[in-house]
Amino acid sequence: MRSRLLQSTQFRLALLYAGLFCMSMVLLLTFIYFAIVREMEGQIKHRITAQINQAVIQYKAHGLEELKRQLSDFLEEEDEGVAIVLLTDVQGKELAGNMENWPEDVEYEDKWLTFDIESAHGEENAHVLARDAVLSGGYHLLMGYSLRGPNRMKQIVLDVVTLSVALAFIFTVLGSALFSRVIKRRLERVNQICAQVSTPCSGATRNWCAGSSRPPTTSRTICARRSTGTASGWRD
């Protein structure tokens, strides 16, 4: 039964439709995934840029002590625990922030820094996206955010996309099989009706084609005439 279903033309056509539908779903969900990821990264970069620009303006306007106070207030108000702040002097000594020293193994891309830091809760290392600024007097400011939350969100979105594609493929295959069976049954029914109509009237059809000027009305009338000895066709 399965081999006949797989070899049927209807099932293959329906399966082709299912493949095209799943491909379109994959393309659409992939576009949605990368659009969401791009939007999340854009929001994080915009927030970091705004905060470090505000810190630089604060330092130029009110000096080092006011900047240190602002950074401390910012860390106290930041309840998510994902902000990374570090202010160092010329010797690299920490003046303010929640890091002890300047990060190592930093990767630079344009104006952005990426690096890993150890988690304070014993979890896996956190990936950080940050920007730095060199202030007058040799002070060095670093501000950024841990990407653990956004990475989890990206993984959730990826899982949803994968599950949606898998469900779409399963449902389309099942729908293809059902569609194939429905079409096959309808075609078998049509063939049965054609066979029932053409078989008892073959003689009448031959007489009509041989010299009749008008077709027989129904197969039952023709068969009734043949049984009573009447002609099965009409002559001019």
Give dist(CA 198, CA 155) in Å, integer: 64
Structure tokens at 130: 């940050």
In this structure, of 107-111, 123-127, 129-133, the range with the lowest mean pLDDT score is 123-127
Q: So what's the pLDDT on residue 200?
A: 53
Which CATH code for domain 2-155? 3.30.450
31 pLDDT above the threshold of 90: no
- Which pTM does this prediction carry? 0.61
DSSP symbol at 128: E
Q: So what's the pLDDT on residue 226?
A: 45
142 pLDDT above the threshold of 50: yes
- CB-count exposure of residue 83 (10 Å: 0-12, 13-18, 19+): buried
Give dist(CA 22, CA 165) in Å, integer: 7
* Domain assignments of the chain as residue spans, ordered by start: 2-155, 201-236
What number is the average pLDDT over the span 177-190?
73
Structure tokens at 62: 């009110």
pLDDT in tens, 150-166: 777 778 878 887 887 78
pLDDT in tens, 6-21: 556 666 776 777 778 7
Q: So what's the pLDDT on residue 156?
A: 82
Average model confidence (pLDDT) across the chain? 76
Report yes or no: 131 and 143 within 8 Å, Cβ to Cβ. Answer: yes
Higher-confidence position of 201 and 168: 168
What number is the average pLDDT over the span 211-216?
50
pLDDT in tens, 39-81: 888 888 999 999 999 999 999 998 999 999 999 988 888 766 6
pLDDT confidence tier of residue 227, bands split at 50, 70 and 90: very low
172 CB neighbour count, 10 Å cutoff: 20
Return the axis-axis angle of helices 64-77 and 9-62, rounded to nearest 10°: 140
181 pLDDT above the threshold of 60: yes
Q: What element of type H or E holds 178? A: helix 148-198
